[in-house]
Structure 1
Amino acid sequence: MSYFVIVDNDTLQFGTTFGMYTVTPTEPCMIKASGIAQILNKKVCVVGDEKKVSIKATYMNATYPTPGTGSITITSLAADQQATFALSTAPLIVIGSQFIALFTPQAPASNPQGPEAAPSPQPGNGKFMNSQTFVTTG
């Protein structure tokens, strides 16, 4: 069986809906790798690297159409995104299904006709994209 392994600077794709917010990243969505092993001269991502992801974004909703700002983080990987059969200081991260993400507002969205939003963190999801590297097992 083959698995696509996530490596340094692979792309992340987040859903646009985080609870009641529509969220738009404002910077490239990539993950940095810390594994010792390399594939095609790129370090592999290991479990724990997802915790270092923090992507700046804007948000709004129907009630507060003037965007606010915040950041998207990854809170947990899906079980099928952790390759326990292959290690490089920790299990490798593979494409798998979807991870759980969290959007945390920092500057509130607003409504020109009313008060600012009382921002609160909202859950969402995302997935790994564009990996061209793979490992084969057994």
Structure 2
Amino acid sequence: MSSLVVAEGDTIVIEPTFGSRQVVLLEPAFMSGSGEATIEGRRICVMGDEKRVELQAEYSIPGYSPGAGIVSVEILDGSQMAPCVSSGAPLILMGQQFTARFTPTVPAVMSSPPNTPDLMEPGIGRGRFVTQQVFVAAA
């Protein structure tokens, strides 16, 4: 089954739930492309571009003051990779959902005594790409 090709400027949507944490991005999230080909003047995204995604976020846990951290793409789903290309790196496709990682940088702190900070361990969530173009697809 074919899926739309992701290009520079396409939107990244992150689901808010990372375990017990509710994560909110601080700004809109877009992909950056490094492929040689373009779609509507925008570079296509190839494998490795997802590793450059680092999104600033705040998070909350009931009973805690807010904390902060970074959301990144942990691993793409198999439906989000076009392994057969004639040259260069495999393309990134819209596909299903990728695995996202939230890494706290400033811990949330329990609101009442003993004012315990949240553990600084990463959490796992989900995300997806939303393409602007609707006509270039790959399998």
Distance of aligned partners of 1:99 and 1:116 in 2 relative to their CA distance in 1, 3 Å threshold: same
Query: Secondary structure of 2:83's partner?
Result: strand
- Quote the Cα distance in structure 2 between the aligned partners of 1:75 and 1:39: 26
Residue of structure 2 equivalent to 1:115: 116
- Provide TM-score, normalisation by structure 1: 0.90
- Kindly report structure 1 stretches of 4+ aligned residues shifted beyond 4 Å: none
Residue of structure 1 equivalent to 2:42: 42
Residue of structure 2 equivalent to 1:62: 62
After the TM superposition, which residues 19-34 of structure 1 pair with which residues of structure 2 at under 5 Å, given as runs? 19-34=19-34
Q: Which moved more, 1:41-50 or 1:106-115?
A: 106-115
Contact 1:39 1:133 in 2 (8 A): no
Contact 1:2 1:134 in 2 (8 A): no
Q: Percent identity, aligned pairs only?
A: 38
Q: Which moved more, 1:115-124 or 1:47-56?
A: 115-124
Distance of aligned partners of 1:19 and 1:87 in 2 relative to their CA distance in 1, 3 Å threshold: farther
Query: Secondary structure of 1:86's partner?
Result: coil
Larger proportion of strand: 1
- Quote the Cα distance in structure 2 between the aligned partners of 1:118 and 1:8: 35
Alignment size in residue pairs: 137
Letter of the 1:20 partner, please give it: S
After the TM superposition, which residues 120-135 of structure 1 pair with which residues of structure 2 at under 5 Å, given as runs? 120-135=121-136
Contact 1:46 1:88 in 2 (8 A): no
- Quote the Cα distance in structure 2 between the aligned partners of 1:100 and 1:129: 15
Query: Secondary structure of 1:59's partner?
Result: strand
After the TM superposition, which residues 75-94 of structure 1 pair with which residues of structure 2 at under 5 Å, given as runs? 75-86=74-85, 89-94=88-93
Q: Aligned Cα RMSD in Å?
A: 1.8
Q: Which moved more, 1:78-87 or 1:28-37?
A: 78-87
- Structure 2: which 5+ residue stretches go unaligned? none
- Quote the Cα distance in structure 2 between the aligned partners of 1:124 and 1:5: 23
- Structure 1: which 5+ residue stretches go unaligned? none
Distance of aligned partners of 1:53 and 1:100 in 2 relative to their CA distance in 1, 3 Å threshold: same
Residue of structure 2 equivalent to 1:13: 13
- Quote the Cα distance in structure 2 between the aligned partners of 1:136 and 1:54: 26
Query: Secondary structure of 2:8's partner?
Result: coil
